[in-house]
């Protein structure tokens, strides 16, 4: 009888421990850096993002914009799509212009320049907030399987995005404001696609193509672009 009671007690304690671990698990916070090889103010922010890249509580992504290319150095990581995304954030926030370097934390707070103390406080604040969406991602061959469940109805709906990035590249810059500098860039976004709209009413399941060995990030976000509801990374 004691063995049965002890086994049952151990079973329930195990379940409680798992539930508590899940309840108090830290949700990774998405940090987007809008940067350019042609911007003299950007290397400190690039270095700050590189420091975040190894952390498990942060998903750090560098989006290189193309609007600095005219001053003498073409950023070969840049895409007009990333410039457009930054401008969309500005419109959603009611801002009249965009800046580099600029960090956007959890799709909500905007930081101009490299501000490590303020950035760290924002990361802690957002990590402490419960995620409105439970998001699970896993590799399966050349695909990523996604499962998302909303904990309550999503008032504004959401869209799902898949992102690919290169973990590290060293660049010798020959012209422009950073001429003569060698800069290490981390988590350089190479592709960013919207793959689904979702109202949150039912569980969402997706199989997304993700060939190759580049890391993968899946992001569930309110339209706008607005607040990030959940994000997961497969390195």
- pLDDT at position 14, please? 43
Q: What is the mean pLDDT of the chain?
A: 90
- 145-151: long-range contacts, CB 8 A cutoff, minimum separation 24: 145/205, 145/206, 145/207, 145/208, 146/204, 146/205, 146/206, 146/207, 146/208, 146/218, 147/203, 147/204, 147/205, 148/198, 148/203, 148/204, 148/220, 148/230, 149/203, 149/204, 150/200, 150/201
Partnered with residue 111 across adjacent β-strands are 103
From CA 70, how far away is CA 79, in angstroms rounded?
14
- 4-50: pLDDT as tens digits: 333 333 433 343 343 333 444 578 999 999 999 999 999 999 999 99
**With bands split at pLDDT 50, 70 and 90, how would you rate the model's confidence at 202?**
very high
Tell me the domain boundaries of the chain: 26-234
pLDDT average, residue stretch 88-105? 95
Residue 194 in tokens: 């919207």
- pLDDT at position 27, please? 86
- 210-219: pLDDT as tens digits: 999 899 999 9
Dihedral (CA of 36, 40, 42, 43) sign: positive
- 143-191: pLDDT as tens digits: 999 999 999 989 999 999 999 999 999 999 999 999 999 999 999 999 9
Per-residue CA distances from 57 to 29, 30, 70, 85 (Å): 6, 9, 36, 24
């Amino acid at each position: 009888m004691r063995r049965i009671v002890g086994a049952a007690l151990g079973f329930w304690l195990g379940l409680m421990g798992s539930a508590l671990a899940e309840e108090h698990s830290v949700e990774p916070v998405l940090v987007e850096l809008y940067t350019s090889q042609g911007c003299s103010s950007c290397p400190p922010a690039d270095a700050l993002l590189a420091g975040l890249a190894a952390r498990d509580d942060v998903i750090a992504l560098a989006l290189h914009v193309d609007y600095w290319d005219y001053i003498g150095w073409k950023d070969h990581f840049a895409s007009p799509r990333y410039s457009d995304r930054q401008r969309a954030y500005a419109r959603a926030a009611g801002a009249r212009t965009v800046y580099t370097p600029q960090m956007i934390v959890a799709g909500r707070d905007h930081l101009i320049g490299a501000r490590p103390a303020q950035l760290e406080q924002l990361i802690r604040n957002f990590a402490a907030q419960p995620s409105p969406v439970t998001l699970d991602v896993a590799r399966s061959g050349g695909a990523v399987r996604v499962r998302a469940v909303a904990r309550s109805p999503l008032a504004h709906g959401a869209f799902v995005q898949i992102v690919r990035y290169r973990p590290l590249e060293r660049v010798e810059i020959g012209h422009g404001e950073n001429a003569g500098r060698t800069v290490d860039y981390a988590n350089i976004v190479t592709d960013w696609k919207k793959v689904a709209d979702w109202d949150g009413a039912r569980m969402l399941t997706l199989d997304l193509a993700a060939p190759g060995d580049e890391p993968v990030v899946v992001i569930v976000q309110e339209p706008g672009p607005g607040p990030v509801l959940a994000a997961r990374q497969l390195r």
